[in-house]
Structure 1
């Protein structure tokens, strides 16, 4: 699918990967790009830059996503591409409070459901449309420092697979983006886990370019880091060994965190 002449909505579009995607779509000749973000000021600035539109959108609220789709319907006659990009994270494992688990579930997972629910009827009627689900390498592998993030990003991959299986024969294309470290504010360089990711981090622009290429060939899995694909293949070949290797990495990182704490350098919390 070509982005040229298409109408796109990008959630979390005002910063980081979302911002790069908005710019890349505009540069590729999209007819109109709607920047949807809780940061209304930044969304408005970017929309002005790329000659698009902006709307304040808390993706954990289905009504906000519906309003973004309604804006596209009124101003452009519908949505061709919906990029579910907005996401959040936090550190921790089983001890993370229920309300925080629920917050990540609402933003990282249910937002994708809400978006699909809002645009699929019109896309199915036209027998054409593109759903982009931005997950993470954590969705294919795992995120050592955050159980809620890892679990919700796995869910995004599962939902993207389900969408593809159910709707590809009806003209709906799905891509699932799974980057590892990306040089955005999301990457906390005071966190040993994120320091590990920073070593091979890529720019948001690189992620956006990989997405454009994948959409051109209607490719499902988008891997801005080639190593993620290699690790994923290894995981499926020898699951137990893969888990043991990740356990060793976790052990090393935990020792580093412990050392920082002993030196009085409390690792920064997300």
Structure 2
């Protein structure tokens, strides 16, 4: 799909990958609603964009796990720019390490990392089917193809996000709806370093696992990779090419891969 002239919503757009995506989209000729739980960061991104490309971005504070608030973003986009043609489900959260996460923590991770994607698709896909075109981009993680040392909530919900994106692609891919799934490893965002900031063993190990497994990329590079994949209508977006090798190794000998991950975890925790 060509981005120029399209109307897009980017969630988690107040910084990191989301902010870079909003900037890249408008630079390529799209108009964007920048949404973030923190309205001030969304506004800062929109202001920066509009300073360079006037009237191409609007900001909104929104909890994108809430159906009514997603509906509000769609209405805002339609009122400012026209029908939404692209949705970047980029908002995400990490989680507590270990099995300590309670029901509320699991619900929050499921709501933000998975159900937010489902709820957006439920609102957008019917209209896209009528118009014969639409593009849904899911930000998952390499953890959704491999796993995440430390946080069970993150590992499980990112696997689920990949699964939902796959299902959307299979179900609607021949009806004009395109779907891509972004699965990066380390990207230079606040989210990456949240584990170290926790000071907990598994949390620190989680951050070190990501930063030691490959290069830590800048959000702008990831955004460029996403737009290239959208142009090609390619499903799997892997800014870290070695993730594909790891994924193949996992699939070729699951038990060997699990043993290797246990050894790797032990080394990060100073147990090996």
Matched, 1:62 2:67: yes
8 Å contact from structure 1 (residues 183, 198) kept in 2:
no
Residue equivalent to 1:248? 263
CA distance in 1, matches of 2:96, 2:242: 24
1:135-174 alignment, distance < 5 Å: 135-174=140-179
SS of the residue aligned with 1:186? helix
Q: Post-superposition shift, 1:239?
A: 0.9
8 Å contact from structure 1 (residues 8, 79) kept in 2:
yes
Residue equivalent to 1:79? 84
Residues 54-84 of structure 1: per-residue CA shift (max 9 Å, x gap): 1111012111111001111222221010000
Give TM-score, length-normalised by structure 2: 0.91
Residues 81-111 of structure 1: per-residue CA shift (max 9 Å, x gap): 0000000012323231111011101111100
Residue equivalent to 1:130? 135
The one of 168, 175, 179 equivalent to 2:180 is 175
- Aligned-residue CA RMSD in angstroms? 1.4
CA distance in 2, matches of 1:255, 1:119: 48
The one of 214, 226, 230 equivalent to 2:229 is 214
CA distance in 2, matches of 1:8, 1:86: 15
Give TM-score, length-normalised by structure 1: 0.92
Higher alpha-carbon deviation: 74-83 or 150-159: 74-83
Residue equivalent to 1:20? 20
Residues 223-252 of structure 1: per-residue CA shift (max 9 Å, x gap): 000111110011111111111111111111
Q: Post-superposition shift, 1:193?
A: 2.5
SS of the residue aligned with 2:191? coil
Residues 139-180 of structure 1: per-residue CA shift (max 9 Å, x gap): 000001110000000000000000000001110000000000
Q: Post-superposition shift, 1:122?
A: 1.5
Residue equivalent to 1:261? none
The one of 165, 169, 185 equivalent to 2:190 is 185
Residues 11-39 of structure 1: per-residue CA shift (max 9 Å, x gap): 00111110010011011111x11001111
CA distance in 1, matches of 2:208, 2:266: 15
Matched, 1:195 2:208: yes
Higher alpha-carbon deviation: 43-52 or 184-193: 184-193
CA distance in 2, matches of 1:107, 1:184: 18
Equivalent pairs counted in the alignment come to: 256
CA distance in 2, matches of 1:112, 1:204: 21
Q: Give ranges in structure 2 of 5+ residues lacking alignment.
A: 51-56, 197-203
CA distance in 2, matches of 1:33, 1:74: 12
8 Å contact from structure 2 (residues 15, 45) kept in 1:
no
Residue equivalent to 2:116? 111
